[in-house]
Structure 1
Amino acid sequence: MTITTDPADSHRPLVDRLLTHPYLPGDARDFHALLEEVNGPRHRSRHRSRPRNAEVSNYLERALAMVDGVPLGEHAASWMSGLRTAMQARIVDTAHSVASYRTQDGRHQDFPSARQACTTGLNADGHSETLYRALMRAEAAAGNRTGLRSAIARWQDANRHLTRDQIDKKTQTLVDELLAAS
């Protein structure tokens, strides 16, 4: 490379090599099969399912305890938006799993833990309809009318700039049902 050569051109052979022959750990030979295994619908559905026992739920709750607000801060650089979105999705999935598990009937039922999981997730992603619905269900199941009305108000505040056609129908239907029942 000479002084007049563009430094950006020096990495081009490496990038071309990585794009045509990506590094695959272990015996993985089929890149698309590996991507499907890691990022496919089966992977996401595993994480969206409810924890099967209290030990798993406790690990997820401990992981949520480490979350503090929006990942990478409120004013992260634009190149971080993809990473932030991925982190928010995982936080929302984890919070939803904990809330769903903690609102089921049984000895593991714990409404304050469900509420805390939803609140933590909503602090990370304030537009998650899934978590607003989970929070509303938790408050309704706990018989906490004040908490239910507070959750509905928080959801309405987050969506105040949307028209009625833009609002998620599932959430609006749930709000109507819960207000009619209370």
Structure 2
Amino acid sequence: MNRHIEAEEILTRVRDKSIKLDNKLDVAEVQLVFGQLYCRMKKLNQALQCFDRALQIRQEVTPTALPAIAKVLHEIAAVYFDQQQYQMALDHLRQCLAFELKSLPKTHIDIAQSHNSIASVLWYLKDYVQASQEAQLAVEIALHSLEASDPLVIRFKQLLTSISHCLKSENEKKLDESKSMPLS
């Protein structure tokens, strides 16, 4: 925990210096790092405040820096996911993906990561059909730039497999229920 406190003190000094120099982009970056630190410390509300501030500054100072804005939105979504606010996480991930699709090549790994994150949230929401589609997209996009043996591709495929098992179980359950219903 002492390392977290030391990091917090260092970041505070860097942020204060950036504020004095009126370097808003540095302040936004420090806020992002503060948010990541607070996530590690499990101080999720403080993390969310830092990420929101970083997002606000980025949108104000560099509104066309869409990948940087997308990165902050992804961090915010991760906090909401950790807080089990899955709909808020999904909303932020979809915003993130929209920015990435406007600014990155269609086969960029960040786009694959966003699809995979969306699939994870949809899985928790038990929307297995949509989750499966998102996970499949993540795998397909990742395979454009990574080898099938890459750990990220393997992780994406594992999620797709897990979702597929849930979807299969759900379909079997529905089939069993329909068989047990009396005919009118």
Q: Shorter chain as normaliser: what TM range?
A: 0.3 to 0.5
* Greater fraction of residues in helix: 2
| TM norm structure 2 | 0.47
Q: Which one has the largest radius of gyration? A: 1
| TM norm structure 1 | 0.47
The structure with higher relative contact order (CA 8 Å, sep 6+) is: 1
